[in-house]
Amino acid sequence: MRKKIAIIGTVGIPACYGGFETLVENLVGNNRNVEYVIFCSTKHYKNRPPKYKNVQLRYIPLNANGFQSVFYDIWSLIKATFCCDEILVLGVSGCCFLPIYRWFSKKKLIINIDGLEHKRNKWNRYVRMFLRFSEKMAVKFADVVVTDNKGIQDYVKQQYDVDSELISYGGDHVLCSVSDNIKLEILDYYKLNECRYSFSVCRIEPENNVDMILEAFAISGQELVFVGNWDRSEYGRILRNKYSSISNIHILNSIYDITTLYVLRSNCAFYIHGHSAGGTNPSLVEAMFFGKPIIAFGVIYNKETTEGKANYFLSINDLVNILKCPYSDFFVNANNMYEIANRCYKWEHIAYLYEKLY
């Protein structure tokens, strides 16, 4: 009889939000030896089928993000305790409850602590204190701690003297087949020429160094396509107003169409990655599968993901100077990114590593 594994802590599936949701979508798509039950938020799904990809879905009537995420995770954890053999917890929001939970349950908990949320600048002091406490409880009460990046694995060992399982994200789900006609249509629509522009996509937040990237390209004069949720914050709106009139910078709203993203990624000259926090960023792993040169912000997480074989910047001048180099200097970078992606970040391999933990 196959083990029944609950996954809690995400918006749910089908994936419609972020990295953890994509992880779950691909875990259940590749599972071989386990039966999954996925907890989902009713706030994100108008249609609520009981199954998806032959996986059971359970619904919780709370938001999976923001303040309600704490109660959403706790509610999911309690319900999962009575219907599954083991529980995979993604994120630490509800882990503040674990000291109480361990009074009545010894259920095996596998907890992926995500990207050190308490270090993100977007949170105020009190939220960071709460997230730090939740992280501490997650590490203390988990049977297995999962980290997605060597930098975070080292942090957990140094901070808590706990060994964690290193399992990253996959990225090959972004690959698809696109005809030449559709490729040309999409490039023409955005007024782009193949391999003549750089590409970046992220949530528009200060910790992703969006302002640094935009200013570097404004100085260099090279073409940049930047996709993000510009209208969600004052930071994004200010940057959009400042740089949208610069002819070599294309500021695009969030794009969810897989084909359009595939064309924009697969036909760029460089992929620019400005994330400074969060461990292994799914968007970076995805970009590596396109075999394009990657220029990333030079923090330990990005260097670990790319095995130190990309190009890195820490300032506007760094990025401007990198962009001045002949394109032939980046061929080794591109080949290395493709090799690492196929060796380390395929979903079949990631699913296998999770199944080994159950």
Domain housing 157: 3-171+346-357
Write the DSSP string, 275-335: --SSSS-HHHHHHHTTT--EEEE-SHHHHHHTTT-SEEESSHHHHHHHHTS-GGGGHHHHH
Are 46 and 194 contained in the same domain? no
**What average pLDDT does this structure show over 155-174?**
94
Inform me whether the pLDDT recorded for 118 exceeds 60. no
Predicted local distance difference test score (pLDDT) of residue 94? 92
Q: Report pLDDT digits (tens) over 124-136.
A: 788 788 888 999 9
Q: Residue 24: its pLDDT value, please?
A: 92
What pLDDT is stored for residue 220 in this prediction?
96
| Interacting residues of 72 by C-beta distance below 8 A, sequence separation 6+ | 41, 60, 62, 63, 64, 93, 94
Q: Tens digits of per-residue pLDDT, 71-107?
A: 999 999 999 999 999 999 999 989 999 999 999 999 9
Maximum average pLDDT range among 20-29, 46-55, 318-327: 318-327
Here the CATH number for the domain that contains residue 255 is 3.40.50.2000
Token pair, residue 18, equals 């972020």
Q: What is the pLDDT of residue 15?
A: 76
Residues 239 and 334 in one domain: yes
Task: Specify whether 45 is located in the same domain as 77.
Answer: yes
Residues 222 and 340 in one domain: yes
**Mean pLDDT on 319-340:** 96
Of residues 296, 292, 248, the one with CA closest to residue 270:
292
Torsion angle, alpha carbons of 76, 42, 286, 111, to 10: -10
Let me know whether 250 and 143 are in one domain.
no
pLDDT digits (tens, 9 = 90+) for 221-248: 999 999 999 998 999 999 999 999 999 9
Please write the tens of the pLDDT for every residue from 139-156: 999 999 999 989 899 999
User: Please, what is the average pLDDT of the chain?
Assistant: 92
Instruction: Please check whether residues 190 and 295 belong to one and the same domain.
Output: yes
For residue 3, the SS3 value is: strand
Question: Same domain, yes or no, for 156 and 26?
Answer: yes
pLDDT value, residue 243: 96
Pair (188, 295) in one structural domain: yes
| pLDDT bracket for residue 17 (50, 70, 90) | low
Residues 124 and 26 grouped into a single domain: yes
* Residues 180, 199 within the same domain: yes
Q: Largest Cα–Cα distance of the chain, in whole Å?
A: 63
Torsion of CA 114, 118, 120, 126, to 10 degrees: 140
Better-scored residue on pLDDT, 115 or 290: 290
Predicted confidence (pLDDT) at residue 334 exceeds the cutoff of 60: yes
Confidence class for position 121, pLDDT limits 50, 70, 90: low
Claim to verify: residue 23 and residue 106 sit in the same structural domain: yes
- Tally the domains of the chain: 2
The whole-number average pLDDT for the span 12-36 is: 82
Helix ranges (DSSP H) in the chain: 19-30, 68-81, 98-104, 125-141, 150-160, 180-189, 210-220, 234-243, 258-266, 282-288, 300-305, 316-323, 331-344, 347-357
In this prediction, residues 196-219 reach a mean pLDDT of 95
Same domain, 28 and 116: yes
